Amino acid sequence: MKLGRGLSKIKCGLLLSDSRLMRLVFGLCFVSLCVSGTWAAPKQLRFNQQGQFKILQVADMHYADGKTTPCEDVLPSQMASCSDLNTTAFVLRLIKAEKPHLIVFTGDNIFGSDATDAGKSLDAAFAAAVNSGIRWAAVLGNHDMESTLSREGVMKHIAGMKNTLAQLNPSDAPGIDGFGNYNLEVGGVQGSILQNKSVLNLYMLDSGDYSTDPSIKGYGWIKKSQQKWFRRTSRALKGEYHREPAPQKHAAPGLAYFHIPLPEYSSFGASNFTGVKRDPISSASINSGFFDTMVRAGDVKGVFTGHDHLNDFCGKLGNVNLCYAGGFGYHAYGLTGWSRRARVVQATLGKMRNGGWGGVESIRTWKRLDDSRLSTIDVQSLWTKRRAASKF
Ligand SMILES: *[C@@H]1O[C@H](CO)[C@@H](O)[C@H](O)[C@H]1NC(C)=O
Ligand SMILES: *[C@@H]1O[C@H](CO)[C@@H](O)[C@H](O)[C@H]1NC(C)=O
Ligand SMILES: *[C@@H]1O[C@H](CO)[C@@H](O)[C@H](O)[C@H]1NC(C)=O
């Protein structure tokens, strides 16, 4: 069952930091997860009995030392009482209001250069999610490794935390670039015909920090090795979805989460996106081709990034929605008087002719503001099955 598997995963994670015994215990845990059988063993996420799955995206918390770390870009009158703890308070309010099934943190979780101890900052930044008991995942941004831990060290720390589904990297892609590339599968409703299939696929990727090529300036990008892993994973998931029992005609929709926006985020004018564009699009200065890779794979319907705190829009390019979450953290640049915010995505299953739950029928999104009413804004449909059905 869900709970049992969750617990064994947590134990594995906690034990990781210890001695050599670890490798043995971890190995045993791993074997027991594999032997337990169904597709979802180590990644147990599933649609609820109402046919819904809701993801809360938190971008750019920029957490540092907690109470002693001041806020940026709040009203002068608010400065004295404002710190990282306001960021935590916002996470808690959102969890209470939205009751998400998964929380995804899309990088710059900590603002490394102001964090005295990276491990402590990470623990504090994710504490609200950990204590909520809700499963959560995270990827890295370009500031997470600027404190006392390397990029690899930060991702290892995160992957060892309680209730997280974050992984250092996929076991089937040795040598993949970056840290924190992994996929999560969301199963159909327990007891439904699709209970053993992933009906919604989440791809988590490390979009890097800065270019390591001296001839290319600026931010990092999703490398060839990562795109290769993505293609292979997408193909394998499609194969599973099409296979007996209960073979499906189309691909299950996918959503991709990472930190740095793709160059294609620049494709929109004010007439064709929903939300706000107040920052330039700070993508890498080269195009690594990941957008085209996703278009060719065909399953990804939405891409969700952070990085540009004053952009919170969603625009549709072809069949793929390119979305920002907007800045979340109080120790991150913002715009005075413009509320910190977060993005929610909700996928809803369709009913089959016999009344049982089928695959995903629609995906919607909205944002929540950290104002007194926790306002919901920009509710929009990202995808519905009917419209896209002929594509596959
Ligand atoms: C930060 O939290 C304090 C304590 O709850 C509160 O008084 C203050 O208004 C918050 N500041 C902002 C900018 O939300
Ligand atoms: C799902 O897998 C379980 C365990 O292997 C099996 O008992 C059940 O019949 C399967 N259900 C469907 C609908 O495929
Ligand atoms: C959005 O609208 C602008 C004009 O405002 C146009 O140049 C651009 O091609 C459009 N982009 C998309 C993706 O439809």
Ligand 1 centre and the CA of 344: distance in Å? 23
* Ligand 1 centroid – CA 93 distance (Å): 13
pLDDT score recorded for residue 270: 81
Ligand 3 mutation pick, 262, 264, 268, 271, max ligand atoms within 8 A of CB: 268
The pTM for the full model equals 0.89
C-alpha distance from residue 205 to each of 44, 123, 260, 323, 329 (Å): 19, 21, 10, 15, 21
Report pLDDT for 44.
82
> Which string of b and e fits 102-136 if b means at least 16 CB within 10 Å?
bbbbbbbbbbbebbeebebbbbbbbbbbbebebbb
pLDDT tens digits for range 344-368? 999 999 999 889 999 999 999 999 9
CATH topology of domain 52-384: Purple Acid Phosphatase; chain A, domain 2 (3.60.21)
Q: Cα 331 to chain center, whole Å? A: 21
Interacting residues of 16 by C-beta distance below 8 A, sequence separation 6+: 22, 26, 159, 160
pLDDT less than 50: residues of the chain: 1-43, 387-392
Q: How far is CA 363 from the centre of its chain?
A: 16
- Give CA–CA dist 24/17, Å, rounded: 13
Q: Distance between CA 80 and CA 367 in Å, rounded?
A: 28
| pLDDT number for residue 4 | 33
3-state secondary structure of 348: strand
Q: How far is ligand 3, taken at its centre, from the CA of residue 268, in Å?
A: 5
- Residue with the nearest Cα to atom 7 of ligand 3? 269
Q: Which residue's C-alpha comes closest to atom 12 of ligand 3? A: 268
305 vs 314: CA distance, rounded Å: 10
Would the CB of 81 count as within 6 Å of ligand 1?
yes
Ligand number nearest to the C-alpha of 75:
1
